[in-house]
Structure 1
Amino acid sequence: MMLPESKNGITIRIMTVEDYKEVKPFMREHFYYDEPLGIGINVPLHLQNEAEEDQHHLDMIRQGLSLIATEDSNPEHVVAIVLAEKLEPHDIEKNRIYAEEKEDNLLGRILRLMAKVEREANVFEHYGVTNFLNSYITAVAAPARGKGLGSRLASTLIELGRSRGFPVMAAYCTSHYSAQQKDALGMECIYTLAYADYKDDQGRGMFTPPAPHTHIRVMAMKL
């Protein structure tokens, strides 16, 4: 696995804790409100449970599995990121408890949805493995989209996962395009949930992202 790797004026390398000072504002600008569950919302999602979320992201970065893409002409300029982590069976329960403890704000509702998907997809059982590489967040800057950078990041993460001995990689795709991209790389859909079927106690849909984002999908592959 040869990183950093430069192509078309953009270098992909492993993210460091020091990068987080650029990564955090990048996510505010290009992830929280561009991701299907945050499109068109008028609440400050990036500020909800901010300290805990920062800690979670930094814990992930310390595992050395996250990626950052920067411009060769301006290495300070971030154009895309992937936050990724190793997951083991006990993490599923830990994530459920983390989600359940959150208040009933938008982030809390998103975390509870993701915890449900994680439990029901059960990547460990599906593949008979005791750990896997979880592609947690992928974000590409708006001007850099549509140029294959997301696929390049995913391919790089697959290779990194192989080099680190992971048996499986999985991604929980809230976006139609993200799932499509993972499918093109040979990942299979092992679980799907229609947003319309995820309802609150009164039977109302809790998330109504714009088309074509109709389902959340878990995409995975053996490495």
Structure 2
Amino acid sequence: MTSITIRELRADDIDEFCRFLTVNFYGHEPVLQTPGDHKIVTDTPEKRETRLAIIRQGLSLVAVDSSNEGRIVGIAYAEEMVPNDLEINWNKVNEKKPKSFLDHVHLFLSGVEIRSKFFERFEASKALFLNILTVDATVCNQGIGRRLVAALIELGRSKGFPLIAVSCTSLYSTRVMSALGMSCVHSENYLDFKDEDGNVVLKPPAPHTSVNLMAMKL
């Protein structure tokens, strides 16, 4: 543990960052473990452009292992969000009928976020929104995720954010956020989300049964 430190995620980390997401986020995110051949493309020029724009905000953190040439072992990928962003995201995913599995995931999560009304609940005009928290499987259960979020909370305070929020798609991340003082302001069960034919779309493995919008004043 003493060899693992937290620092800002930088633009020059982009190659390692994208590889890390492919293996540790796309490979282990509960929602994405829904049975089926979903053919998810994890890295494209468009995705990189979006990721770089968010990274350049200076609000994302990584855990690195100094005993292993500074290898990234955890990420807290976050951005500034304002109320209008929720509307833009919601309108964007509703412009067309969902075709791919990821289309359904984005529709579900953007709906959860807008229905949570977390900006209104906390009377905040902006928030530090944690998009992705993931840790390398080789260093799980060492408290790295909690360290990343704790550092992100302090970063948010230092930047003057009045609120931090995150959509927790796993039971484990929900527990981490709760232990750090966040509260659940909205929750929706995966089995309640169905396509237009009435089929359940999201079937993550147990014990992950719902997404929980967690938030806290800073």
TM-score interval w.r.t. the shorter chain?
A: over 0.9
Note if 1:19 corresponds to 2:8: no
Q: Structure 2 vs 1, CA of residues 41 and 24 (structure 1 numbering), >3 Å: closer, same or farther?
A: farther
Could you tell me whether the CA contact under 8 Å between 1:100 and 1:108 is conserved in 2?
A: no
Q: TM-score, normalised by structure 2?
A: 0.94
**Residues in 2 aligned to 1:175 and 1:98: alpha-carbon distance in whole angstroms:** 25
Could you tell me whether the CA contact under 8 Å between 1:182 and 1:219 is conserved in 2?
A: yes
Return 103-112 or 82-91, whichever deviates more: 103-112
RMSD value, Cα: 1.6
User: Tell me, what secondary structure is at the counterpart of 1:44?
Assistant: coil
Q: 1:29 aligns with which of 23, 31, 37?
A: 23
Which sections of structure 1, spanning at least 5 residues, go unmatched? 1-6
Q: What is the identity, as a one-letter code, of the residue corresponding to 1:28?
A: T
Q: TM-score, normalised by structure 1?
A: 0.92
Q: Structure 2 vs 1, CA of residues 101 and 25 (structure 1 numbering), >3 Å: closer, same or farther?
A: farther
**Residues in 2 aligned to 1:47 and 1:182: alpha-carbon distance in whole angstroms:** 26
Q: Which residue of 1 aligns with 2:131?
A: 136
Which sections of structure 2, spanning at least 5 residues, go unmatched? none
User: Tell me, what secondary structure is at the counterpart of 2:41?
Assistant: helix
Q: Percent identity?
A: 38
Could you tell me whether the CA contact under 8 Å between 2:167 and 2:212 is conserved in 1?
A: yes
Could you tell me whether the CA contact under 8 Å between 1:86 and 1:132 is conserved in 2?
A: yes
**Residues in 1 aligned to 2:95 and 2:136: alpha-carbon distance in whole angstroms:** 32
Q: 2:60 aligns with which of 56, 66, 72?
A: 66
Structure 2 counterparts to residues 59-208 of structure 1, below 5 A: 59-101=53-95, 104-208=99-203
Greater RCO, 1 or 2 (C-alpha within 8 Å, sep 6+): 2
**Residues in 2 aligned to 1:206 and 1:36: alpha-carbon distance in whole angstroms:** 13
